[in-house]
Amino acid sequence: MVNDFPRTLSLLRKEKKISQRKAAGDLGVSQALLSHYENGMREPGLEFLVRAADYYGVSADYLLGRTMARDGAAIMADSLPDVMEQKDNVLKGSAMALFSRKVLTNSLSLFYDILGRHGDRRLITECSLYLYTAVYKIFRHVYAMGAANPDSAFPIPFDHVDPLCDMQLKKSELALRRLSGEGKSDSQPMADLSPARLQDGYPQLAPSLLSLLHTVSDNMEGKKTGL
């Protein structure tokens, strides 16, 4: 049984604000057996898993820790909204937040166009995993600032986030170094990414990426930035 199941089962009951006795009765098991399920001492069968999913209004995949989407819906590229192209998008916020979002969105759009044209799936995978991990790490820090946000909503305790994320980032960095050391592969050769070529090829997006690179360089050199 996936290790997340006991934690998720217990969390869902607590979110519903019902006692273990009531949940056990509704699910057709004894309180002692439900306690064993929630503590990870015993593994339930498929019948109980289906009942629990229906009872709490979530998918079996969510109960098993296979997704953080409660309905278990798979994410497909065509189904993802492009909020930057939505005239009535509700993502507002401060001027600084809007500016930073546009810089990042434009920079990543340019970056992934380059990766897509290069065509190396390994490179795309490692770059994406690195960025996913970085976003996960900073989200957990922001999430932890809210007293009402339960740490139990995540399988990884907050105290473990930094070392585990840093380890994953280092693994991706090593993989990228190996890829860069392999030279030419079966994929297309890497494009000329000089600032002049970027500006010529991406006149609308390049200023954002070049601004991002300049801001990070200044920050690492101890210079004041606009952020």
Q: Would you list the DSSP string of 113-159?
A: HHHHHH--HHHHHHHHHHHHHHHHHHHHHHHHT-TTS-GGGSSS-HH
Same domain, 86 and 192: yes
Average pLDDT over residues 86-94: 60
Same domain, 59 and 110: no
State how far the Cα of 34 lies from the Cα of 73, in Å rounded to an integer. Answer: 27
Whether 23 shows a pLDDT value over 50: the answer reads yes
Same domain, 112 and 209: yes
Average pLDDT over residues 190-211: 88
Same domain, 132 and 212: yes
Query: Strand locations in the chain, DSSP E?
Result: none
State how far the Cα of 158 lies from the Cα of 120, in Å rounded to an integer. Answer: 34
Closest CA to 114 of 7, 186, 3, 188: 188
Same domain, 89 and 125: yes
Whether 80 shows a pLDDT value over 50: the answer reads no
DSSP letters along 203-219, please?
A: TTTHHHHHHHHHHHHHH
* CATH value at residue 56: 1.10.260.40
> Is 44 exposed, middle or buried, given 0-12, 13-18 or 19+ CB atoms closer than 10 A?
buried
Same domain, 198 and 150: yes
Same domain, 133 and 174: yes
- Using pLDDT thresholds of 50, 70 and 90, give the confidence band for residue 119: confident
Closest CA to 109 of 227, 202, 173: 202
The total of structural domains in the chain comes to: 2
Three-state secondary structure call for residue 101: helix
- Answer yes or no: is 227 within a domain: no
Same domain, 51 and 103: no
pLDDT digits (tens, 9 = 90+) for 143-190: 999 998 988 888 899 999 999 999 999 999 999 998 887 654 455 668
Average pLDDT over residues 8-16: 89
Same domain, 111 and 35: no
Host domain of residue 25 = 4-63
- Using pLDDT thresholds of 50, 70 and 90, give the confidence band for residue 69: confident
Out of 12-21, 34-43, 156-165, 213-222, pick the least confident. 213-222
Same domain, 114 and 208: yes
Same domain, 99 and 205: yes
Same domain, 132 and 203: yes
Mean pLDDT, the chain, whole residue set: 85
State how far the Cα of 161 lies from the Cα of 90, in Å rounded to an integer. Answer: 30
